[in-house]
Amino acid sequence: MRYLGIFACLFMLACPAGSQAPEGEAPAEIAAEDHEDHLGDHGRVAFETTCNEEAEDYFERGLAALHHMMYADAKAIFEAATEADPECAMAYWGVAMTNFQPIWEAPTEEQLEAGQAAVEIAMDLGGGAEREDRYIATVEAFFADPDVEEGADAAAIYAERTRSWKESVRELHEAEPEDVDAAAFLGLAMLAYQERLVTPADDRDFEVEKQAGAMLEGYLDDHPEHPGLYHYIIHIYDFPQLAHKGVEVAHAYDDLAPHTPHALHMPSHIFVRLGEWEETVEWNIRSAEAALNHPVNGTTSIHYPHALDYKMYGYLQLGQHEEARETLEKVRAIDDVEVAFGSAYGIAAAQARYYLERGAWEGAAELEENSPAALDWDAFPGAQAIFHYARGLGAARTGELEQARAELEAIEGAVAALEEDADLYWKTMTEALAKAVEGWIAYAEGDVARALELMDEGAQLEESLEKHPTTPGEVLPVRELHGDLLLEEGRLEQAREAYETSLERTPNRRNPLERLEQVEEAQGTS
């Protein structure tokens, strides 16, 4: 029992916002209740440990939740394992693993502290078997002080942590080639590190993703119900060029985990890439319902706004505007939510999409910023900028140029904040939004050449990076807006090229398809 009190204290102090246990409740009690009442079927994980029987049962359930990226669930369940067996080093490994989310976002300082605390205990206890020590070494590789140059920024530090984790997991996999969990984590680590390497304008041949996908597919016959294989294969193939490889796995994920919110959402990553909107909507209806039945310590989980954003996207592509309006009302009714960038993005993007996709420029200009007040929006400049993007485009398109300039200034402020945070991805994508708003301001002022230049620059920025897993697609692709401007100027062939380029990145989107029909009609009558 020597580590339990110390660790519980560290956990409660260092747990990230939105993930702490309610005052007066032990994490173990939450773990048991939440898992039994909400998590439901989760696939099949068989991981023998040297912990006692009760702790091993918790451990396997926590590992399944971890593979589903149900991090809050997994943290609580692993906590239960530490109470069931305070000498169970792998339970502390599990807690550490829930404190970084490789393809979502970098860990906060609080998560780093909590992860490091768990790693120290796991290492001090030591695994009861060589395999356990190898697993503990992998998570220690992430949380150890990274080998970077003095003055390295946050992005470089995170990249080095991810590289170190990947190489350690590769060593684990090579030592334990039959271990499906080791293989699953290696596939995830390969994808995560590849994301850290990519910078704007890099060419992508997707060779790493293809290798990772093929490796994991090789385990499916022997492990047809393993959640990590299904989940990570979908993420690995979440690109227009690869999505066709993930269709079978996406459909099979349903039977594997029919009550797990994120598992119900994940297939839509493939269907969005293929432009299959009915499938996208269907899966996210189910995911949103499951998320509401699966709160995180009394608050709405990140998986709810995430599903609503995907659902909104799908409805708008189908032209089902009444269903989209109902989804908008659900977004605006969120009064508490798990504190995370994914929550902020889903809430902001779903609202902005509703107006921008329909060309409802007056409504876009009047979109209430930083709403609902379920989050500290200043903590999420990349999401906050989306409100200003919608408002700025709406204002520019309706001639309210003073407002449009103010919105542009706010977006530029978000870019500066993201640069300070060394968040290269969202800085680049937010710069693209600024270029788009500035372009439409220039067009409203009569400077067509400048407007077209800005729109092309913004589109190139946006196209220089792949879609982030947080989003079903850009809120309103800048290349589409570039095409719209060209179409208004009667530059039909250039407009066609812009729309076709946009469709290569986001197949079967309603607006560019309709605009291409307009181009064809105009060319036929000219």
**DSSP code at position 526:** -
**E strands along 289-433, which residues?**
none
Residue type, 314: G
Could you report the per-residue pLDDT of 6-63, keeping only the tens digit for each?
A: 344 344 333 333 333 333 333 334 344 444 433 446 778 889 999 999 999 999 999 9
Phi, psi of 105 (to 5 degrees): -160, 160
Q: What is the pLDDT of residue 22?
A: 31
Domains in the chain, CATH or no CATH each = 1-187 (no CATH), 339-476 (1.25.40)
* pLDDT score of 463: 93
- Predicted TM-score (pTM) of the model is 0.87
pLDDT of residue 38: 35
Token digits of residue 344: 């902020």
Q: What is the pLDDT along the chain (526 residues), one digit of tens a residue?
A: 444 443 443 443 333 333 333 333 333 343 444 444 334 467 788 899 999 999 999 999 999 999 998 888 899 999 999 999 999 999 999 999 998 888 888 888 899 899 999 999 999 998 789 999 999 999 999 998 888 878 778 878 888 889 999 999 999 999 999 999 999 999 999 998 888 776 666 667 889 999 999 999 999 999 999 999 999 999 999 999 999 999 999 988 877 777 888 888 999 999 999 999 999 999 999 999 999 988 888 899 999 999 999 999 999 999 999 999 999 999 999 999 999 999 999 999 999 999 999 999 999 999 999 999 999 999 999 999 999 999 999 999 999 999 999 999 999 999 999 998 888 899 999 999 999 999 999 999 999 999 999 999 999 999 998 898 899 999 999 999 999 999 999 999 999 999 999 999 999 999 999 999 999 999 887 5
Query: How far does CA 471 lie from the centroid of its chain?
Result: 6
pLDDT score recorded for residue 525 = 72
Exposed e or buried b per residue across 213-244, where buried means at least 16 C-beta atoms within 10 angstroms of its C-beta: bebbbebbeebebbbbbbbbbbbbbbbbebbe
Total residue count of the chain as it appears in this document: 526
Q: What is the rounded CA–CA span in Å between residue 269 and residue 275?
A: 10
Q: Give the DSSP letter string of 82-149.
A: HHH-TT-HHHHHHHHHTT-BTTTBPPPHHHHHHHHHHHHHHHHH--SSHHHHHHHHHHHHHHSPP---
What is the model's pLDDT at position 106? 84
Identify the CA nearest to 320 among candidates 329, 312, 309: 312
- The single residue listed with the structure tokens 């909590």 is 114
Give the number of C-alpha atoms closer than 13 A to the C-alpha of residue 360, restricted to the C-beta side: 14
Sign of torsion over alpha carbons 126, 127, 130, 135: negative
3-state DSSP of 181-219: HHHHHHHHHHHHHHHHHCCCCCCCCCHHHHHHHHHHHCC
For 296, the 3-state DSSP assignment is strand
pLDDT for res 203: 65
Q: What is the pLDDT of residue 200?
A: 67
